[in-house]
Amino acid sequence: MSLNFHRFDIMAVLAEQGGPNPEKIIDGDPKFTTWNIEEKDGVFAGVWESTPGAWRVTYDEWEFCHILSGHSVLEEKGGGIHDLRAGDSFIIRPGFKGIWRVLETTRKEYVVRV
């Protein structure tokens, strides 16, 4: 077993269930499943999945995402509309505000730095 290598294996961690704050929901009843694989020194990494719905988002942290499956649209307040599908990778910087709209259940890998 390596102390400095950790595989993204969602079968090795307990899934956490949740969803957006009800006050932020715009449409639907989105449900989240999160597999936190790493939490260390202000860095969080794992896999996140959401069922369809839409909610307002505000990012105070930096996040790298890679879409594994599904279809979402990220609408940036005062900015663009970002269509997200399997294979897309992107960074969300602190200060991002907008709407996360899941059109088809979406699963992503993430790395967050707070």
User: Rounded to an integer, what distance in angstroms lies between the CA atom of residue 102 and that of residue 74?
Assistant: 9
Residue-by-residue pLDDT tens, the chain, 114 positions: 578 888 889 999 999 999 999 999 999 999 999 999 999 999 999 999 999 999 999 999 999 999 999 999 999 999 899 999 999 999 999 999 999 999 999 999 999 999
Picking from 67, 6, 66, the residue whose alpha carbon sits closest to that of residue 39 is: 6
Number of CB atoms found within 10 A of residue 39's CB: 11
Residue 22 identity: P
Report all structural domains of the chain as residue ranges with CATH numbers, in order of start: 10-113 (2.60.120.10)
Picking from 6, 92, 17, 74, the residue whose alpha carbon sits closest to that of residue 49 is: 17
pTM of model > 0.75: yes
